[in-house]
A and B are shown apart, each in its own frame.
Chain A
Amino acid sequence: MPRLLNGQVLFALGLAAMNTIYAGQVAAMDRPFATGEPGPAFLPMILCGFVYIAAAWIVIAEFRAAPAVRSTRDASDTIPALHVIGPLVAIGLTALFIITFFYAGYAVAAALYTFLIALFFNYETTGAPVRSALIALATSVGVTLFGWLFFVKLFDLYLPVWGA
C-alpha cells in the first residue's frame, strides 16, 4: 500500500468521515448561546471540532513519521489470512445470530451461533474438521442449555425461545 494511504491514515480519515455525518446533525441544531444558553449543540460542536483536529494531527504525524518496516504477522497453521478472515467470520456470525434470533428464537439461534463460533476456534486450533465439529456440537448443546437455565429459569428474564 502506498505510504500516503496506510491503515492509520485511512482509519483516521474514516473517523473524520463519520464525524462529518455527526457534524451534519449539529449544523441542523440551534447555534449555541443563540438564546443566551449553551444549548444542545454546545458540547457536540466542541467535540466535532476536536475530532477533525485530532484526525488531521494523526494523518500529519503519519506523513511525517519514518516509513514503518512492514512487520510479519503471526500466521495461523490452519486458516490463511486469519487477521482478516477471523474478524469477518466473528462479525458475520454475530450478525447471522441476531437475524436468526429475530426469526427463529433463542434455541435455534444460540445453538447455531455457539456451534459455528466453537467450530471456527477449534478448527483454527487443531485443523481437524471432524473432531472440531464434535467439540463444537457438545459446546453448542451445553452453552445453549446453560443460557436458557441462567436467563430464563434462574434470573427469570424473558427470552423468545422458539421465535419472537
Chain B
Amino acid sequence: MISEIAQGFAALAHPMTFLHLVGGFMLGLVFGAIPGLTATLAIALLLPFTFGMDVSDALVMVAGIYMAGIYAGSITGITLNIPGAPSGAITTIDGHALMKRGEGTQALGMSALASALGGLIGAVVLIALAQPVSAIALMFQTPDKFSLVLLAVVTVTIVASGPLIKAMMAMALGLMISTVGIDPMVPVGRFDFGSYHLIEGIGLLPAVIGLFAVCEMIAQSAAPSSLQKAEAVAKVVRPRRRDFLPTRAHIREVGLIATVKSALIGVVIGMLPGGGASMASFIAYAEAKRSARAPEKFGNGSYEGLAASESANNAMCGGAVIPLLTMGIPGDAVTAIIFGVLLIHGLVPGPALLSDNLVVIAPMFAALFVASIFVFLSVLAFGPVYLRLSQINRGVLYGFIAMISMVGVYASSFSFFQMWMALAIGAVAFLLRSFGYPVVPALMGVILGPYFEEFLRRSLIVSEGDPTIFLRSPASVVLLALTALFIWLLRVRPALRAAKS
C-alpha cells in the first residue's frame, strides 16, 4: 500500500502527468470562480477528452479540477459577493464583509490557506482509510449492496434543494432513464421503441453533458446580462502579491485546532452520500460559531468563520472519494462524474477497485494532496487576476461551452443520436430547473439505477420474492437504520419543528 502511494506521488513527477494536474487545476480555478460555472461542469466537459487520455492522467486532471473548483467558489464570493459555486456561499458571508472593510486580499489569502489545509487533511484521511474501507466493503453481500445504494439514493434525494416530492420525481426520472436499453440481467431490450439506437441505452456522457452543460447554456440564455452587471458592485482593487499572505495575527485568530476540526467535519460529511461541499461548509461554520470566543464577529467579517467553511469544503473532496472508490457509491455530482471517468476506462468503482488497481488510482490520491498545496500557491501567483475572473465575455464563455459539450458527445460516441439525446436531456433538465426540480438526483438516478435494479432483483431472486431478506444481514440492517435516521434528521424532525413553531 505505501509503495503504491509512493508510486502515485512519483507519477506526478512525470512531465505529462504533472501538466495534466496543472491544466486541471487551472480549469477548476476558472470554472469555480465564474458565477454559474462549477467544478461539476468543468469535469463534465472534460469527460469526452478522457477517452484519449491515460486513465491515471485523467484522474489526476479530475482531482486538480475538483480541488481548485471547490476552492475557487469563494473567490468571487469574497470579491463581488457572488459565490462562484454553491460551496462558496457560506464563505461569502464573512469574506465579502472583510472585502468591504478593505481586507479583501487578506480574506482571499486566508481562504486559500484554510482551503489548502483542509484539502491536505482530506487527502491524508483518504489515503489512510481507502484500503481498510475497501476491505470491509468486500464482505458485503447483495442485499447489503442494495441497502447501501438505497442509502445513497434516499440521502441524495432528501438533501436536494426544493420540495421533497420534486426531488423524488427527479430521482425517479433518472432511474427511468437508466432502465432504457438492454436489461441488466435478462438479454431483452426495454423501452427501445424498436430503435437500434435506444437498445444500446442512453449513454452516461450525453446524460451528464445534457444535465449540466447544455442545461446551463440554455439557462444562461434566459438570464439577462444586466442582472450580473447590477450585482457586481464591489470595488475591484489591484493589490501586490505579498498582500495575499495571511498575517500572523489572523492565523492566530483562526487557530490550528479549529481549522483541523472543521476539516474533519468536512471529511465526514464528504463521506456521506448527498453530503457535498455546501453542507460541509455550512455545518463547519455553525460549529465554529458555536465554539468561537467571539461569535458576534461571525457574519460581520470573521476570519475564523471564513477559515472554517473553506477548510471544511476542501476537506470534503478527499472524504467524498472514499465511498466512490471503496464501495462504488458516488455521493454527489462531481464524484458521480468521476464514476463515469472510471467506467469509460474499464475500471468499475467498488471494493475490488483498490485491491486490483491501486497503482492506477494512487496518482489521483497524490494529486489531491499536491493540488491542496497549489491552492495556497495559486493565491500568491494569481491573486490579482482572481479579481478580474468574473468579467469574462459571456459570448466567448458560452460559445466555448456549447461547442465543447456537443462535439465532446460526438467524439466519445461517434453517434449523432447521442448528440440529439444530450440536447433533449438538456432541454428537459432546463424545464426541470425552471419548475423547481433539482437535477442532481436525476443524475444520481441515471448512474445508480443499474446497480439499484440489479441488487434489488438479485436479492429478491435469492429470497424468492421475500423482502425480509434485507433485514437478515447485520450490515443491511445497519444501512437501512442509517437511511431511516437520515430521513428523520434531515426531513421529518425539521418539518415537525417547523410545524410546532
Which residues of A does B touch, CB under 8 Å? 7-8, 11, 15, 22, 25, 29, 33, 36-40, 42-44, 47, 50-51, 54-55, 57-58, 61, 74-77, 82-84, 86-87, 89-91, 93-95, 97-98, 101-102, 106, 110, 113-115, 117-122, 124-125, 132, 135-136, 139-140, 142-144, 146-147, 150-151, 154-159
Contacts and interface: CB of A to CB of B under 8 A. Distances in A.
Contact of A76 (B218, B224, B395, B414): B224
Contacts of B457: 37-39, 42-43
A139 B392 CA distance: 12
B221 A87 contact: yes
20 contacts: A7-B435, A11-B431, A54-B165, A58-B165, A82-B223, A86-B221, A90-B217, A94-B426, A98-B423, A101-B407, A106-B407, A120-B395, A121-B393, A121-B397, A121-B398, A132-B395, A144-B403, A147-B403, A151-B49, A157-B411
Contacts of A61: 165
B190 A40 contact: yes
Contact of A121 (B52, B175, B399, B460): B399
Given A113-B402, A139-B399, A150 B410 contact: no
B236 to A, nearest CB: 18
Interface string B470-496: 000000000000000000000000000
A85 to B, nearest CB: 8
B218 A90 contact: yes
Contact of A39 (B186, B397, B403, B427): B186
Given A22-B191, A36-B464, A54-B169, 19 more contacts: A40-B185, A40-B190, A43-B175, A43-B179, A44-B176, A51-B176, A77-B224, A77-B226, A91-B218, A91-B426, A101-B406, A101-B407, A114-B402, A117-B395, A121-B395, A125-B395, A136-B395, A157-B412, A158-B411
Contact of A140 (B53, B165, B220, B399): B399
Interface residues of B, number: 69
B445 to A, nearest CB: 9
Q: Summarize A's interface: helix, strand, loop or mixed.
A: helix
B227 A38 contact: no
Nearest to B182: A40
B451 to A, nearest CB: 12
B155 to A, nearest CB: 18
A94 B191 contact: no
Contacts of B427: 87, 91
Contacts of B133: none
Contacts of A36: 464-465
A123 to B, nearest CB: 8
Contacts, number: 209
Contacts of B411: 151, 157-159
B407 A151 contact: yes
A74 B450 CA distance: 41
Interface in B410-439: 410-412, 414, 416, 419-420, 423, 426-427, 430-431, 435-436
B53 A155 contact: yes
Contacts of A37: 457, 460-461
A54 B191 contact: no
A135 B398 CA distance: 13
A150 B51 CA distance: 12
A157 B226 CA distance: 39
B221 A120 contact: yes
A124 to B, nearest CB: 6
Given A22-B176, A110-B407, A113-B403, A157 B48 contact: yes
Nearest to A120: B221
Given A75-B224, A98-B423, A147-B404, A155 B52 contact: yes
A101 B416 contact: yes
A98 B400 contact: no
